[in-house]
Amino acid sequence: MRSGNAQITAQLSAMAQGWGYLLAAGGPLLVGVLREWTGGYAANAWLVGALAVAMAWSGWGAGRRMLVQARA
């Protein structure tokens, strides 16, 4: 997705960076909790696979040819 002006671009960047840091902070904790609950890393492998599918789907949606507009 693209934006029409610098203000919207900055807002999109801030949102993406905020979510990225939140997910990155929770990832190691989630891996450790899954390892503790299941006793192995198989659940983590399934989690990585599911996240890869979700990221591919999100990337496909974000790559469409359209402009992001500000709400009035």
Residue range 2-39, pLDDT digits in tens: 777 888 888 888 888 988 898 889 989 999 999 999 99
pLDDT computed for residue 72 by the predictor: 63
pLDDT computed for residue 53 by the predictor: 97
CA atoms within 13 A on the CB side of 72: 0
Residue 41 has pLDDT above 90, yes or no: yes
Element (H, E) at 37: helix 6-38
pLDDT computed for residue 29 by the predictor: 92
Alpha-carbon distances, residue 42 vs 10, 22, 29, 53 (angstroms): 39, 24, 16, 17
Model confidence band, residue 1 (pLDDT cutoffs 50, 70, 90): low
Residue 40 has pLDDT above 80, yes or no: yes
Residue 1: Cβ within 10 Å count: 12
What are the boundaries of each domain within the chain? 2-68
| Closest among 20, 29, 30 to 50, alpha carbons compared | 30
